Amino acid sequence: MALNFCSHCGAAALELRIPDGDLKPRHVCRQCGHIHYLNPKSVVGTLPRWKDQVLLCRRAIEPRYGLWTLPAGFLEIGESIDEGARRETLEEANAAVVLDRLYTVMTVPKIGQLHLMFLADLPHPEFSAGAESLEARLFSESDVPWEAMAFRTVSRTLRCFFWDRQRIRQKALDEFPLRVSS
């Protein structure tokens, strides 16, 4: 990505070079010497659960219009990752959630993004499509529209969730087998 102007002094005098003590080429202002770092954007969201189902939203915006995703979006300046995840869930699914824990962290270096997804609980099954969603809906594992998922990080998060859930159920069965006595 090329920068044209220095955000520090406004000069159109940026050059791409490796600053002293650095290892990578950076945009450096020839006038004031300010170094411009291009860092990934953080995407935060939730994997909302209600009983045995998960809440997904169908996108009403590009990219990936009309495809399904978890409620998520860009972290805003001045908010924590958990505040951003709750805000995005409220904006996209009109759902107030209770965060459980940070569940997945994935990098998407090609587009300069870091995706952070929290497990979350819906205290009540009250939700609707927000301004950036065509639809919000609960899905059981067998009904998830895998072929219509918007992003690989969302598919991977969901697959990890269902795999973990199955593993936990199996472990519970192994530890506490049902015993029938005659």
pLDDT in tens, 7-17: 999 998 899 99
* Tokens at 40, concatenated: 């990934």
CA distance 67 to 168: 30
- Model confidence pLDDT, tens digit, residues 153-182: 999 999 999 999 999 888 888 887 766 665
pLDDT of res. 181: 60
CATH code, domain carrying 92: 3.90.79.10
Range of the domain at 152: 41-167
Please tell me the pTM assigned to this model: 0.86
Q: Is residue 140 part of a domain?
A: yes
Domain count, the chain: 2
Residues 103 and 117 in one domain: yes
Q: Is residue 175 part of a domain?
A: no
For the cut 60, the answer to whether the pLDDT of residue 59 exceeds it is yes
**Which residues, other chains included, contact 76 with Cβ-Cβ below 8 Å and sequence gap of 6+?**
84, 87
